[in-house]
Amino acid sequence: MKHPKNKFVKATAVAAALLLGTTACGGNAAGQTDDASGKPFSILAMVPTSGPLAKIGAGVTSSLKAAVEVINAHKGIAGRQVEITFVDTTSSPSEAVSRLQSELSKGTLPDLVVPSVVSSETVALLPLLTRKKILSVGTAAGTISTDRAKFPYAFNTAVQAKDSMSAQIKKIAGHGVKKLGVIAPDSVLGRDKLKALEELTAKAGIEIKSEFVDPASVDPTAELSRLKGSGVEALLVAAALGPSGAAIMGAFDKVGWDVPRYLDDAASTNNYAGLSPTALQNVTFAAMRYGVADEATRKSGSYKLYWDAFTGVTTSYEQGPDVYVYPYSALILAKAAIDKTGGVKDLDAVVKSFEGISSTDSELWIMTEKLALNPANHSIQIADDDMVFFPAGARNAEGLFTKAAAK
């Protein structure tokens, strides 16, 4: 089977060595190129560029290209220029595994893998990468993907379920809600979010009623109708990244339910431009600060480097900011950790470097005010203040949220 790949060459003075080609580089018995070989640092990016997640995959591809450009302009990774290969997962976990196996059977192994951008595919890919002892940095928010005991060589920049839900429940509780409805896709991330919500709402004294929706459902009116009949005071749409988010939000008019709605960071990321004018009324979005046009974090020098590179790669900003910043940050995190060890040959040292990462280790970091990993897992540490909440609305021409006083 032929596996579609994305080729991209950026021939500029600062990034002449940016080769996004079809041949993965490097490899020794442990899987990585000898750090002293002088060969490019090879990254394999497993990204859904066809199927239901293709639009998200296109955004991720652009952000990874931007990251490679910035990294190569800043001495590469451990002094080696970066080469990245893209392989289409087709939005299918089983196909993603098949295509990864094919790539890894070619005789040389990549130095680093981006194991897709959604939890269902990432969780399917990590066992193989772990057996091969290949380092990975992903963007999937499913908790299992950051289990350091199960997947010791896997790291993640997505906001984890408990972190995002902590800020979300504080916001909802502050509005006096005592009975909350929750609707989420029946997915790895959806189940993670509900588990976190059950714990957090119990502590906050909030009763919840929940419904799972088939991620492929185009008409979740039955689930919404049951929640409407339960007497909840507000509704949280959680983990609905991609088509499921639009299906849920588009069904409220059919149900005739104008309950206050909160969308978590995943659901807020979607493009809702095709819905009715009333679909986003009485709705509160959630986003990381870097995704809001008015936030001070966007004025930093590191953010300008990101934005200049990203807008040089694409002029399409259809997806929410997380789709672009998570993958970009994954490679920036990898650079910071691997630069400290001088390469990836000693994986145990690399793991310790990731686990001990701090703000002083990267001048390129933009995702959070403080750079650190969660003590309990391999995900980025998120503070409640890293997330903001504001009335839902269309994003601007650059794909950014535009609430002037997001709180």
Q: How confident is the model at residue 248 (pLDDT cuts 50, 70, 90)?
A: very high
CB 165 within 8 A of CB 193: yes
Per DSSP bridges, beta strands 41-47 and 112-115 are parallel
Percentage of the residues of the chain whose pLDDT score is greater than 70: 90
Cα(399)–Cα(21) distance, rounded to whole angstroms? 28
CB within 8 Å of 201: residues ≥ 6 apart = 169, 180, 207, 208
Mean pLDDT of 354-383: 94
Residue with tokens 């149900």: 255
CB within 8 Å of 376: residues ≥ 6 apart = none
Q: Which amino acid is at 402?
A: T
CB 236 within 8 A of CB 167: no
Torsion angle of the four alpha carbons 264, 125, 154, 236, in this order, in degrees rounded to the nearest 10? 10
* Both structure tokens of 283: 């709705």
φ, ψ at 326 (rounded to 5°): -55, -55
Do domains 5-160+298-383 and 161-289+387-391 share one topology? The answer is yes
CB 285 within 8 A of CB 237: no
Of the two residues 239 and 16, the one the predictor is more confident about is 239
258 pLDDT more than 60:
yes
Domain ranges of the chain: 5-160+298-383, 161-289+387-391
pLDDT (tens digit per residue) in 259-313: 999 999 989 988 888 888 788 999 999 999 999 988 888 889 999 999 999 999 9
Q: Of 176, 222, 221, 170, nearest to 197 (Cα)?
A: 170
pLDDT at 8: 39
Superfamily of domain 161-289+387-391 in CATH is Response regulator (3.40.50.2300)
Cα(386)–Cα(314) distance, rounded to whole angstroms? 26
CB within 8 Å of 235: residues ≥ 6 apart = 180, 181, 182, 183, 227, 259, 260, 261, 262
Mean pLDDT of 127-145: 93
Q: Determine the 3-state secondary structure of 83 from DSSP.
A: strand
Residue with tokens 């959604």: 118
Pick among 3.40.50.2300, 3.40.50.2000, 3.30.465.10, 3.40.190.10: CATH of 5-160+298-383: 3.40.50.2300
Q: How confident is the model at residue 33 (pLDDT cuts 50, 70, 90)?
A: low
138 pLDDT more than 50:
yes
pLDDT at 4: 41
Length of the chain: 407
Q: Determine the 3-state secondary structure of 42 from DSSP.
A: strand
Q: Which helix (H) or strand (E) is 200 found in, with range? A: helix 188-204
CB 100 within 8 A of CB 58: no
Degrees, nearest 5: CA angle 186-130-118: 30
Q: Which helix (H) or strand (E) is 101 found in, with range? A: helix 93-104
pLDDT (tens digit per residue) in 111-124: 999 999 888 899 99
**Average pLDDT for the chain:** 88
pLDDT at 35: 63
pTM (2 decimals)?
0.81
Q: How confident is the model at residue 213 (pLDDT cuts 50, 70, 90)?
A: very high
